[in-house]
Amino acid sequence: MVSQIPEQLIDEIRQANDIVDVISEYVSLKKQGRNYFGLCPFHGEKTASFSVTQEKQIFHCFGCGKGGNVFTFLMEQEGFTFQQAVTHLAQRSGHSLPERYLNQVNSSNHSVDQVSLQAHELLTKFYHHIFSHAKEAETARNYINDRGLTDETIEQFQIGFAPDSNEITTQFLEKKAFNLQELVSSNVLARSDQNQIYDRMRGRIVFPIRNHLAKTVGFAGRSITNLEPKYLNSPESALFQKGKMLFNFDLARSEMKKSGQAILFEGYMDVFSAYQAGIKNVIASLGTSVTEHQAALIRRYVDTVVICFDGDDAGINATFKVAKLLKKVGCQVRVATIPDQLDPDAFIKKYGGKRFKEEVIEASSTYMGFIINFHKRQFNLKVEADQIAYMRLIVEEIAQLKSALDRDRYVREIAKMFDLSPGAILEDVDQIRKKQGSTRDNVGLKSHTNERVLKNRPKRLLPAYHNAEKRLIAYMLHDRTIAEQIKHTLGASFNIEKHKIIVTYLYAFYEDGNQANVSQFIERLNDNEIISEVIEIAMEPITTDVSSDEISDYIRIIRLEQDDKSIIRELIAKQKQAEMNRDYLEAAKIGMEIMRIQKELKEK
């Protein structure tokens, strides 16, 4: 199938989609030196070990080892096939693909998930049309207007209304050639106890839930009559997993990256009101408590999260749980307090977006400030026993802080609160940290340089010939002329099996008239281990003006290893012959000589 797309067009699509721009849609990247660094989207981490090089158009994670080009990234991140990755990037860059290729892609996309995705997209437009024009949606329109949402916001979020009927939605989908049984299986539609297929959102205002690619994958329904339950989400499916998604994430993430901050709400209306008021970096959980997966997703994009939940007891308790979770994944947590126990939507309607931003978001408490006040609710601080219990709890919390400055600041605050010596409290904090093995302070958390990452990962010392081969291949990947030179001097006579495979493919790549391009070259490879090895070698820093003496030196080291191994093979053969002749003294002498050569090889 891929052969139907001209290779030249694939190259054009790759070149038109800068890898830094594409990966930045998934990870917050920061430039350090010549490369960009961020938190790896493929494994959980708190310190950035994920590197992207714009010059070579490849990525590599020094933590989990994954690497590749822009196509590989999408295949890993989205679960795309190569064909789907090409199609996605072609749409992104405005390239037209051959008609026969698109027809084959479309026919291969007739999976349950693809059909479900198409049905959700169509229903989004259908519900929105009903909301905007149908007479039966007048109550829904009035409700949304009374909530203060403008036509622009309604259009932006494609707010809709599901007809209060068992047939209208299903008949609409049947006319569009959907198989209703398939839609029941994928949870787009529901089946009643009487075996009737119906729309579970019927009679409700509908808010589309989009994934990070801005595709609708589910709906949130809100009843405006006596219909129960009042709030109803689409059930979980392969496309819609509430614990892995965030409401409005597709629209908010560019603003999140720009501001370095996310504002986390509980409800959809809070998001609508804030977005309408010009505060765009706003997201919400999907009617469930925030999961570790969601927290890690937020952390990949921003350093700071402002939690802005309702001010009632339920909201405060939920804030405590979420704050702990976000802190665990490495976020800087702040907690907004809304006066008069208002929710964010009500505050914005009453006082406007400007005051909400200045008096609520910008005035938010630090994580520790919130924790100190939160735990006060559990104790009567006029009672001595409660004072001691409270202080012990707060000292435990202070001991978890990585910054010595932060610990000192809150130790002094607690000391002042209870008229105690800061030194005594600090001593308790230090003892707790020693027991936990947390004696080192976390300095320079925002350093994402290649040097720091490599220092944090113990590297196995490789023999000289192994390093020589890696360096030589790095130069061959960078310079076609060097590859031609090595082809005529060494050919594929490398010592490491993976390296033999790499250079064999590389020679063929250059013979086809290609110029040095790692991102293009790895598409020729179909073994993930070999691709990983190429990426790791390509990420190594090299000098652009390498001398012929340096290249010759690498060749010499590689050949020397081959010569030594050849000698060992000959000695082993002689040793076996001596043993067959029962000349055990000679066999022992040869054995000693083999051991001497092997020891020298290890020391090289």
Confidence category of residue 453, pLDDT binned at 50, 70, 90: very low
In 3D space, the residue among 368, 376, 306, 379 whose CA is nearest the CA of residue 338 turns out to be 306
- CA 117 to chain CA mean position, Å: 22
> Residue 446: its pLDDT value, please?
41
Q: Is the separation of the CB atoms in 304 and 243 below 8 Å?
A: no
> Residue 448: its pLDDT value, please?
34
The string of DSSP codes covering 66-78 is -EE-HHHHHHHHH
Biggest CA-to-CA distance, the chain = 105
d(CA 395, CA 409): 12
- The pLDDT of residue 600 is above 90: no
In a 13 Å sphere around the CA of 533, the CA atoms on its Cβ side amount to: 20
Pair of tokens at residue 7: 């290779």
Pair of tokens at residue 570: 């000959």
Kindly state the DSSP code that residue 1 receives in the 8-state scheme: -
Average pLDDT over the chain reads 90
| Alpha helices, H only, 277-421 | 292-301, 313-328, 344-351, 353-355, 367-376, 384-399, 404-418
The amino acid that residue 189 corresponds to is L
What average pLDDT does range 575-597 have in this prediction? 83
> Residue 563: its pLDDT value, please?
64
The amino acid that residue 380 corresponds to is N
Would you tell me how many other CB atoms lie within 10 Å of the CB of residue 454?
Answer: 12
- Asked which of 14-23, 46-55, 460-469, 517-526 is least confident by mean pLDDT, the reply is 460-469
Kindly state the DSSP code that residue 539 receives in the 8-state scheme: T
> Residue 345: its pLDDT value, please?
96
d(CA 465, CA 534): 17
Would you tell me how many other CB atoms lie within 10 Å of the CB of residue 410?
Answer: 21
- The pLDDT of residue 261 is above 90: yes
Tokens 């989009």 identify what position? Answer: 210
Please provide the distance, in angstroms rounded to a whole number, between the alpha carbons at the two ends of the chain: 49
Which fold, 112-240?
Answer: DNA primase DNAg catalytic core, N-terminal domain (3.90.980)
> Residue 37: its pLDDT value, please?
95
Which residues on adjacent β-strands are paired with residue 198? Answer: 190
CATH-assigned architecture of domain 462-603: Orthogonal Bundle (1.10)
Q: Is the separation of the CB atoms in 312 and 327 below 8 Å?
A: no
Q: Is the separation of the CB atoms in 581 and 574 below 8 Å?
A: no
What average pLDDT does range 420-425 have in this prediction? 94
d(CA 180, CA 177): 9
- The pLDDT of residue 360 is above 50: yes
> Residue 571: its pLDDT value, please?
78
d(CA 182, CA 187): 9
Task: Summarize pLDDT for 312-339 with one digit per residue, the tens.
Answer: 888 999 999 999 999 999 999 999 999 8
Sign of the four-CA dihedral 157, 163, 167, 171: negative
Would you tell me how many other CB atoms lie within 10 Å of the CB of residue 447?
Answer: 14
- The pLDDT of residue 104 is above 80: no
d(CA 293, CA 474): 37
Given the candidates 3.40.1350.10, 3.20.20.70, 3.40.50.300, 3.40.1360.10, the CATH classification of the domain at 249-372 is 3.40.1360.10
In 3D space, the residue among 135, 137, 185 whose CA is nearest the CA of residue 162 turns out to be 137
Give the per-residue SS3 of 391-457: HHHHHHHHHCCCCHHHHHHHHHHHHHHHCCCHHHHHHHHHHHHHHHCCCCCCCCCCCCCHHHHHHHC
What average pLDDT does range 164-189 have in this prediction? 94
> Residue 312: its pLDDT value, please?
86
Between helix 480-489 and helix 497-511 the angle, nearest 10°, is: 120
Residue 166 CB burial class (10 angstroms; 0-12, 13-18, ≥19): middle
- The pLDDT of residue 107 is above 60: no
Pair of tokens at residue 9: 């067009």
Kindly state the DSSP code that residue 492 receives in the 8-state scheme: T
- CA 336 to chain CA mean position, Å: 26
> Residue 2: its pLDDT value, please?
46
Which residues on adjacent β-strands are paired with residue 223? Answer: 204
Judged by DSSP in three states, 267 sits in: coil
The CATH homologous superfamily of the domain defined by 7-106? Zinc finger, CHC2-typedomain (3.90.580.10)
- Asked which of 212-216, 412-416, 423-427, 586-590 is least confident by mean pLDDT, the reply is 586-590
- Strand 261-265 vs strand 304-307: parallel, antiparallel, or unpaired? parallel
Would you tell me how many other CB atoms lie within 10 Å of the CB of residue 195?
Answer: 6
d(CA 411, CA 558): 60
Please, what's the b/e burial string for 34-52 (b: 16 or more CB within 10 A of its CB; e: otherwise)? ebbbbbbbeeebebbbbbb
Task: Summarize pLDDT for 492-536 with one digit per residue, the tens.
Answer: 889 899 999 999 999 999 999 999 999 999 999 989 899 999 999
Domain range annotation of the chain: 7-106, 112-240, 249-372, 379-436, 462-603
Tokens 């437009």 identify what position? Answer: 125
- The pLDDT of residue 455 is above 50: no
Residue 3 CB burial class (10 angstroms; 0-12, 13-18, ≥19): exposed
Confidence category of residue 176, pLDDT binned at 50, 70, 90: very high
Q: Which pTM was predicted?
A: 0.79
- The pLDDT of residue 473 is above 70: yes
Pair of tokens at residue 492: 């594929």
Task: Summarize pLDDT for 287-306 with one digit per residue, the tens.
Answer: 778 999 999 999 999 999 99
The amino acid that residue 147 corresponds to is R
Q: Is the separation of the CB atoms in 264 and 285 below 8 Å?
A: yes
d(CA 425, CA 412): 9
Percent of the chain with pLDDT over 90: 72
- The pLDDT of residue 57 is above 60: yes
